[in-house]
Amino acid sequence: MKKSLAILFLATVALWSGALQQSRQLIVVTTKGWNDNSGTLQRYERDAKGWHKIGEAIPIKLGRNGLGWGIGLHEIPQDAKYIKKEGDGRSPAGIFALKQAFGYAPFVVDYPYEVYRATDHCVDDVHSKYYNKIVDSTKITPDYHSKEHMKFPKDYYKYGIVVNHNHIDEPGALPGAGSCIFLHIKKIPTAGCTVMNEDQIKAIIRWLDAQKHPLLVQGPEGIVFNLFKKLTVR
């Protein structure tokens, strides 16, 4: 096993025995390698007998330049070759909590869900005090020059899920480490999000249960495989 894989593996096992042990839902995204911009998503759920697959694996697209280590619930290897940065076109690799789902209109689900408007912005300006925050621009004095509209004419954000990468919507976001990471709708590689079709993202949102502490585990196959070697998957 390569040094970087070994470091993540040991850190992951330690975390799993602590904070991550409470998770009973996983969204697992794998690619062939760090520079691949397409991969596979598989859902898992844990019961008394261990982890088991939910639904069929689905094809997804990621950042146009592949993956880079993100900021989440894992340790970044000291010798990491690829680390997620603002504007690098890479999706974050690692283990991440999920926050609210969102969309353009109400969606009756049990999971926390927000309806966003065109005036709601996700800020990607590294010089802004609102960096990596989703803000209602009508209620603040914007200090940013770059942002994403959370509702716009295309259907990309018609349904989505906020990934807690780099402390989105909370204190501690590191300027320049990457912002506004979501699971959402799109057919082609992205600037850093993980995307699929509308029916697939809606099915995931319906399945999510906040009481089961769902997580996103994302990375090249070798890293994810070493995590699952220590779990009972059926």
Per-residue pLDDT of the chain (234 residues; tens, 9 = 90+): 455 444 444 444 444 444 467 899 999 999 999 999 999 999 999 998 888 999 999 999 999 999 999 999 888 888 999 999 999 999 999 989 999 999 999 999 999 999 999 999 999 999 999 999 999 999 999 999 999 999 999 999 999 999 999 999 999 999 999 999 999 999 999 999 999 999 999 999 999 999 999 999 999 998 887 666 545 555
Cut 0.85: pTM above it = yes
Q: How far apart are alpha carbons 27 and 224 in whole angstroms?
A: 11
Predicted pLDDT of residue 231: 52
- Within-domain flag for 233: no
8 Å CB contact between 234 and 46: no
Predicted pLDDT of residue 153: 97
Owner of token pair 């950042």: 63
Say how many domains are in the chain. Answer: 1
CA torsion angle 69 74 79 84 (round to 10)? 20
- Within-domain flag for 234: no
Q: How far apart are alpha carbons 80 and 38 in whole angstroms?
A: 21
- Within-domain flag for 32: yes
- Within-domain flag for 149: yes
8 Å CB contact between 84 and 68: yes
Amino acid letter at 138? T
Predicted pLDDT of residue 50: 85
8 Å CB contact between 78 and 71: no
Structure token digits, residue 107: 């969606």
Strands 194-196, 182-185: pairing is parallel
- Within-domain flag for 58: yes
Owner of token pair 């992205």: 190
User: Burial, 234: exposed, middle or buried (Cβ in 10 Å; 0-12, 13-18, 19+)?
Assistant: exposed
Predicted pLDDT of residue 9: 44
Length of the chain equals: 234
Strands (E), 48-196: 50-61, 67-69, 91-103, 113-115, 120-123, 134-136, 147-149, 159-163, 182-185, 194-196
- Within-domain flag for 9: yes
- Within-domain flag for 166: yes
Structure token digits, residue 174: 């590191």
Domain with 101, as residue range(s), is: 3-228
- Within-domain flag for 38: yes
Predicted pLDDT of residue 234: 52
Structure token digits, residue 219: 């990375």
Predicted pLDDT of residue 6: 46
Element containing residue 203 per DSSP (H, E): helix 198-207
